[in-house]
Structure formats: C-alpha cells, structure tokens
C-alpha cells in the first residue's frame, strides 16, 4: 500500500521553524496479521489543538495508543521533543507529562472518586501539591467535588468522563491526548465536556483529540488529520478540512454542520 495523501491543506505553520513537541514518524502497527496503521505521520506543536478524524476502524485510537506506549509499532518512531518514546512502557510515557485519556473512560469503578484522582498522581511524591491539585480538579469539575467519597462506578457517564480527565490532570501533563471523549455521553454532557476541554486548552494544554463527532472536534481544534484504513489521507487547518466537501463526505459523513 502506498501512502498517498489525497487532500493536503496548508502544512502546519510552525513546520521547519520550531521543532514539534510530538512527532510520529511513519509508524506501522499490526494486530497479528492485520495491519492497522500503515506509515502514519503526524506532528503536534506546543500549545496546539489537533484532532484526528476518521470513520470506525480507521486507526485513530491505535495511533493514540501507539503514542502512549500501549501498542508497539512494528516500524517507525514516536518522539517527544528529542526523545524517542516508542520503546517505553506506558507507565514511563506518562512520567514525561504526556497523558492519554482512554476511550470508554476506564475509571477504576470499585474505588472512590478521590482514590481515582490519587491514582492519577501515582508518579508524584509531593503530597502538598497532590492535595492542592485534587482541590483544583474538584473546582474545575464541581460534580466530582460533590461525589468525592462515592465509588467511581456509581457516577454517570459524563461524570466518569470528567473523572477520567481529572485523573489524567493529576499527573500534571502539559500534553493531553483524548480518545473519543464524547462516546456514549448525552448531548448536554458533550457540551459540558467540550467547554471543559476548551478551558484546558486556553490554559495552555497541548491537545490531540480523536473524535467521531467531527463537528465538535473541528470546533475545538486548530488543525486536523483524517485517517482512512490506517493511512493519513488528509490534513490541514480545520477551515480547510471543513470546506473540502470531498473529505467531509468521504470520511466524515455529513458532520460538517
């Protein structure tokens, strides 16, 4: 299979000027005999909001998992700054302030909200800072504050998503990846969620978001990549992607509105 990009909008504006924070270089991932990623390239610069779009099974989640270290690419490299991270265990990647909020939220449902947040701070030793950050998360997501002593499994989907994000924040990331954060949430919860993400981004968080709801993702992001069958088939600013009827129709349904 050849990697042909069918639609290229403008290249990232920082390209060639400043080094990217994250660069994914030509990675291929196999699950047994099945090739899921076929030479994916992408880069994210500090402070950017980048989205990855594409239909089911296009390899969006696998791309994030490969960056986080949960799956190992067969070829290609992933670098954070100047360091290669594709060989690291996921528990080491998070120590480099790169967090993944996994698909399906994956909260530890048999532990309390507070214990989940403490687990998020597993890599840290500064007790005072951890305490302050728990308060911070509870202020950011007041629903979590009200339910601190409740088991995570008893929360609603939207609250669990907040907890999953809050838990990731506890590691003090400067780069957050989110895998389908809106999946299974009510429309109101989705609005809350994207408001929260916009807030985080305004505070300087670099973000890489995988989303099926293209309209929400495009509202949040500056730039985007479109994946199809494990390959990057389009890239550009969100305006360019939106206005490219061919891209929207081929890969994203009629979600441009």
Partner 1 sequence: MKTFLQVIAIGLSQGAVYALVALGITLIFRTTRILNFAQGQILMVAVFVSLTLNQNALKSIPLPIAWLIGIGVAVGLGVLIELGVRPTLKHSGSLGWILATVGMATIIQFIAPYFWPADDRLYPSPFPNDRGIPGLGSLFSQRQIFTIVAAFLLMLGVDWLYNKTKLGRAMKAVAIDRDAAALMGISAKATVRWAFILSAALTAIAGFLVAPLTFANIAMGFDLGVKGFVAAVLGGIDSARGAIAGGIMLGIFEAALPQVLDLVSPNLAKYPLPFVFALFILVLVFRPQGIFGTAIREAR
Count CB-CB contacts under 10 A for residue 130.
Answer: 18
Q: Is 76 in the site for partner 1 (CB under 8 A)?
A: no
Please give the angle made by the CA atoms of 196, 255 and 21, to the nearest 5 degrees.
50
Q: How far apart are CA 162 and CA 142, in angstroms?
A: 10
Site for partner 1 (CB under 8 A): which residue of 11, 74, 106, 131? 106
Q: Which of 108, 129, 191, 250 lies at the binding interface for partner 1 (CB under 8 A)? A: 108
Residue 58 has φ and ψ, to the nearest 5°, of -85, -10
Count of residues of this chain found to bind partner 1 when the rule CB under 8 A is applied? 29
C-alpha to C-alpha distance for 244 and 123, rounded to whole angstroms: 43
| 31 is a contact residue toward partner 1 (CB under 8 A) | no
Query: From residue 126 to residue 155, what is the string marking binding to partner 1 with x (rule CB under 8 A)?
Result: ---------------------------x--
Adjacent-strand bridge partners of 23: 43, 79
Question: Which of 179, 212, 161 has the alpha carbon at shortest distance from 70?
Answer: 179
- 35 forms beta bridges with 30
CB of 195 to partner 1, least distance (A): 24
* Stretch in the footprint of partner 1 (CB under 8 A) among 7-15, 20-28, 77-85, 107-115: 107-115
Residue 3 structure tokens? 């990697």
Taking the complex as a whole, how short is the minimal distance between the CB of residue 121 and partner 1, in angstroms?
Answer: 8
Question: Among all chains, which residue has been given the structure tokens 């120590």?
Answer: 95
Q: Which is nearer to partner 1, 62 or 244 (CB)?
A: 62
Residue 141 CB, shortest distance to partner 1, in Å, is 18
Q: Where are the alpha helices (DSSP H) in 70-170?
A: 90-93, 113-120, 127-140, 142-146, 157-169
Which of these ranges, 26-34, 45-53, 62-70, 133-141, lies near partner 1 under the rule CB under 8 A?
62-70
CA distance 245 to 86: 35
Site membership for partner 1, residue 54 (CB under 8 A): no
Give the three-state DSSP class for 98: strand
72 binds partner 1 (CB under 8 A): no
Rule CB under 8 A: say whether 70 interacts with partner 1. Answer: yes
Using CB under 8 A, pick the residue from 14, 39, 77, 119 that binds partner 1: 119
Q: Least distance in Å: CB of 177 to partner 1?
A: 10
Q: Is 118 in the site for partner 1 (CB under 8 A)?
A: yes
Q: Are 64 and 227 in contact (CB under 8 A)?
A: no
156 binds partner 1 (CB under 8 A): no
Residues that bind partner 1 (CB under 8 A): 68-70, 89-92, 94-95, 99-100, 102, 104, 106-111, 115, 118-120, 122-123, 153, 167-168, 171
């Amino acid at each position: 299979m050849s990697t042909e990009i069918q639609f290229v909008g403008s290249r990232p504006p920082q390209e060639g000027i400043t080094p990217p924070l994250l660069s994914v270089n030509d990675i291929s991932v196999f699950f047994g005999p099945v090739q899921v990623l076929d030479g994916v390239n992408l880069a994210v610069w500090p402070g950017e909001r980048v989205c990855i779009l594409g239909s089911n099974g296009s390899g969006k989640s696998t791309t994030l998992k490969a960056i986080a270290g949960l799956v190992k690419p067969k070829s290609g490299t992933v670098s954070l700054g100047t360091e290669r991270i594709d060989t690291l265990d996921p528990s080491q990647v998070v120590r480099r302030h790169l967090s993944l909020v996994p698909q399906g939220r994956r909260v530890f449902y048999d532990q309390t909200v507070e214990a989940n947040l403490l687990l998020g701070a597993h890599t840290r030793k500064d007790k005072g800072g951890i305490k302050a950050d728990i308060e911070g998360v509870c202020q950011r997501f007041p629903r979590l504050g009200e339910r601190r002593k409740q088991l995570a499994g008893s929360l609603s989907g939207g609250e669990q998503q907040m907890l999953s994000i809050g838990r990731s924040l506890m590691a003090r990331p400067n780069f957050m990846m989110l895998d389908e954060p809106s999946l299974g949430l009510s429309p109101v919860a989705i609005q809350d969620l994207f408001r929260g993400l916009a807030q985080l981004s305004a505070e300087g968080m670099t973000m890489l978001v995988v989303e099926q709801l293209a309209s929400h993702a495009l509202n949040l992001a500056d730039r985007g990549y479109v994946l199809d069958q494990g390959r990057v088939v389009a890239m550009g600013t969100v305006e360019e992607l939106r206005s490219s009827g061919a891209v929207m129709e081929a890969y994203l349904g009629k979600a441009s509105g």
